[in-house]
Chain A
Amino acid sequence: MATKVLSIAQVTFKSYIRSKVVYGLCGIVLLYLLTLTLILFENRAINGSTQFETNFVSISCEMFSFVFLFVSVISSAYLITKEIKERTIIFVLTKPLDSLKYIVGKWMGVCFFLLFTTFLFALPFHIIGLIFFKKFYIYQDFFFATMFIAMSMLSAFVMMLSLKTTPVPAIVFPILFSTKWIGQLINGLSNTEPSGQLLVIGKQIGLPFLYVLYYILPSFEEVTLYPSDIVWGKEFFINYLFTLAYAADITLIYLLVCVYLFNRNKKLLVGSVT
């Protein structure tokens, strides 16, 4: 099973790497690097050294999450609709492959691509940090890792939506949704308000991972953090764990819905291209 899933994931990853998407991303990275440097020089004149560094971390993280959000949504939305449009879905459907393996493989492919994107975006951040502040922001790597998890979860949502019809609602809806919830969650990595609410809702509707976490961490709702306090510590790990559990739950739901939709629409999907 693993061989087939990994093969699909690998092919999906190659579809991004060998497309124009990567050139676009490189362009964004360059722009990001340029903007970051400009902001740094602007701030150097106004603020003191500590504030200057805080601004650098805060601005780069916000920019990163904003760009990354679009990357993950757009790269996931066309994943299956493109297969239908280009008729390569027939290649998949005429192989001894069940829908779960196909969906998992596709999703893993997006995750690999998001990991690659994380690396691509984190690189200028670390380079500038090393040049200007003579620091390598290790704790920020956790931020990027958490963001990756949250974004892969978002990708799962997008894939689910795009599976049924066209990529349009799959692009619009998550952007609206994520700016409110996920974006806030990732940006801050700290805002207890939505996290606490989601944890309680998750527990009430029986999402397994959040349910377990609720009992492991009874003091979770008391945790309060703000963007400037992103540091290595207990609170950081609590937030990290929460995001993980949330991502795992949503992924689980996503997989079940996807398999259902795929089986139900399998004939419809092929019918629409033949």
Chain B
Amino acid sequence: MKTISVKGLKKTYKSGFLSKKSTLAVEDLSFEIEEGEIYGFLGPNGAGKTTTLLCLLGLIPYDEGKITIFGEPLFANGHLFSSIGYVPEEPALYGFLTAEEYLLHSALLRGVSKERIKITVEDCLKKLELKETAKRLVRTYSKGMKQRLQIAEAILNQPKILFLDEPTRGLDPLGVKIVRNLIEELAQKGTTVFLNSHILSEVEMTCTRIGILNKGRMVWEGSPKDISKENEGHRILFRLPLGSTLADDFKKVEGSDNVYEIISASSKELFEKIDEIKFCNGEIIEVIPAKRLEDYFIEKVKGNGD
């Protein structure tokens, strides 16, 4: 069974006098997410990502289309929330509670049994490295700590679906690593993750499938591997010995003395180029796909919109 299924979703925001002015946020949006998938939802500002997420959570109504979670409409079945975790873009925490109290309250509302409640909360605090500060009031937390607490709250009770809206915003590199590992760990245990993010490298590294949204429409959907398949070309970075007579044949990387780059058009050409560099006593530094998600994203968004 599909965990999340969206078919022909349409959402417009009404504004102005007598709600006569309408702004289209999402149109004819369809996608499906399987169990255990990490789905990255990308798009420029105002593309309709957050609107889609709020529709999925049943927090705002939509005009047309059908959304089902585990085959059931979410808005009509509030009980599904016990198996859903949500991390909003902006932290929405009770500042007057301690982190431990906040998680206990959340666990109670989610219906965690009394026997399991303490262990569950402690486990979450430990996973997000908040155990030492668990007795502190949330309002005294830093932005990154608040974000980690928000994530800890979302993963209480091992959710079957985890909705993340910019989860690594405000986190330091260590925090980013903790969250990334946590997402991967949850997905391995069968949790479906819906990741809404602007950080393309994060999506590229973490997600098993990606959807690119522009002006309310899905412009591309596939996996990071598909990008490599579609674009066989590679960028080779290498170092040549100083004073090499062959240096003039290659393009020098700006700001370096002896680092050069070369672009191969196909896999066959890649091996030929590598042999050539080795022949010149060159040292290979890095071989990366010539077109990364970032390039792909820009291409798809510009191609669709303009």
Contacts from A to B (Cβ < 8 Å): 3-4, 7-8, 10-11, 14-15, 18-19, 86-98, 267, 270-271, 274
- A95 and B59: CB pair below 8 A? no
Contacts from B to A (Cβ < 8 Å): 50, 54, 57, 59-61, 78-82, 84, 86, 88, 90, 92-94, 96-97, 101, 105-106, 108-111, 114, 137, 153
- Complex-state Cα separation, A199 to B169, whole angstroms: 59
- A11 and B88: CB pair below 8 A? no
- Complex-state Cα separation, A89 to B88, whole angstroms: 12
- Complex-state Cα separation, A86 to B94, whole angstroms: 9
- B109 and A18: CB pair below 8 A? no
Q: How far is the CB of B297 from chain A (nearest CB, A)?
A: 25
- Complex-state Cα separation, A96 to B160, whole angstroms: 14
- Apart from A96-B111, A270-B54, what 9 extra A-B contacts exist at CB < 8 Å? A7-B105, A11-B101, A18-B96, A93-B59, A94-B57, A95-B106, A96-B81, A96-B110, A274-B54
- B93 and A88: CB pair below 8 A? yes
- Total A-B residue contacts, Cβ distance less than 8 Å: 74
Residue of A whose beta carbon sits closest to that of B96: A18
- A274 and B59: CB pair below 8 A? yes
User: B residues within 8 A CB of A274?
Assistant: 50, 54, 59-60
- B109 and A98: CB pair below 8 A? no
- Complex-state Cα separation, A93 to B80, whole angstroms: 12
User: A residues within 8 A CB of B109?
Assistant: 4, 7-8, 92, 95-97
Contact pick for A270, options B60, B90, B105, B110, CB 8 Å: B60
- Complex-state Cα separation, A199 to B88, whole angstroms: 50
Contact pick for A87, options B80, B88, B101, B108, CB 8 Å: B88
Contact pick for B96, options A7, A14, A96, CB 8 Å: A14
A3 and B108 in contact, given A11-B97, A267-B61, A270-B60 (Cβ under 8 angstroms): yes
User: A residues within 8 A CB of B108?
Assistant: 3-4, 7
User: A residues within 8 A CB of B153?
Assistant: 91
7 cross-chain CB contacts under 8 A = A3-B114, A88-B93, A94-B59, A95-B109, A96-B78, A96-B109, A96-B110
- A91 and B106: CB pair below 8 A? yes
A267 and B60 in contact, given A18-B137, A274-B50 (Cβ under 8 angstroms): yes
- Complex-state Cα separation, A254 to B106, whole angstroms: 27
User: A residues within 8 A CB of B82?
Assistant: 95-96
- B60 and A95: CB pair below 8 A? no
Q: How far is the CB of A89 from chain B (nearest CB, A)?
A: 8
Q: How far is the CB of A80 from chain B (nearest CB, A)?
A: 14
User: B residues within 8 A CB of A15?
Assistant: 94, 96
Residue of A whose beta carbon sits closest to that of B77: A96
